[in-house]
Amino acid sequence: MRLVFFGDSICVGQYVPTPHTWVSRLSGKLHRVAEAHGVELSVVNASVNGSTTRAALERMPQDVQKDGADVLLVQFGLNDCNYWQTDAGVPRVSPQAFAANLEEIVERGRRSGASRVLLNNNHSSGRDQDPLPGLGEPYERSNERYNEIVRSVAQRLGDRVVFTDVEAAFKRHTGGCRERLLALLLAAPDLIHLSEAGHAVYAEILGPVVERALLDVIGERLA
């Protein structure tokens, strides 16, 4: 069986030693779960730092579709929602395109063999103060809007995806306390990427979800 993580730097674990990233933390346990059921599992992290959904669709034929996936985890948005000075006041990927791109990624994943597609939104950032160029409000407001888009896409797709509301889970974990949130993120000026503590929380949130999906597919294959 083949499990593919398909996302951006949050799945890569940028700036954190690979063994401490949430994807690496999950991989060892998932291999043991598969082995216990007599299944050989291949875990592939096809994530790329800085990737948007637009870039992801361009590389999806090579990174996902070529070899297929039985379980596909999809997480994008932190780059899509960003505003660059050179973009003249528009986000890197518009809200409408972001939603359409996510739906196409899910459809391509399913047609490539994924009977379980896991779709996540993103954690809150610590960039909730200084306004972005051309936006007039902080990065975090844009992140919140794109998280809501992921929720809407998941609702439209229904049982074609398994949705995890990472944003809500992080808020429950921190109790809405900004200082507790910042402990899960890399220090300023970053305030977006996960610290090692943040990766541990991601593993807690997503571990049961990914394991359940893997067990469901194993059960279907062995039935």
All structural domains of the chain with their residue ranges: 2-222
Closest Cα to residue 164, out of 20, 22, 21, 1?
22
Two tokens, residue 207: 């571990």
Confirm if 93 and 80 have CB atoms less than 8 A apart: yes
- Is 171 a residue whose pLDDT tops 80? yes
State yes or no: pLDDT of 133 exceeds 80: no
Which tops the pLDDT comparison, 131 or 80?
A: 80
pLDDT at 66 (0 to 100): 97
Q: Which CATH class is domain 2-222?
A: alpha beta
Burial 185-223 (b: 16+ CB within 10 A, else e): bbeeeebbbbbeebbbbbbebbeebbeebbeebbeeeee
What CA–CA distance (Å, rounded) separates 162 from 69?
Answer: 15
pLDDT-derived band at 13, boundaries 50, 70, 90: very high
Residue 114 neighbours by CB distance under 10 Å: 26
Q: Which of residues 131 and 152 earns the better pLDDT score?
A: 152
Inter-residue contact 95 to 146 (CB < 8 Å): yes
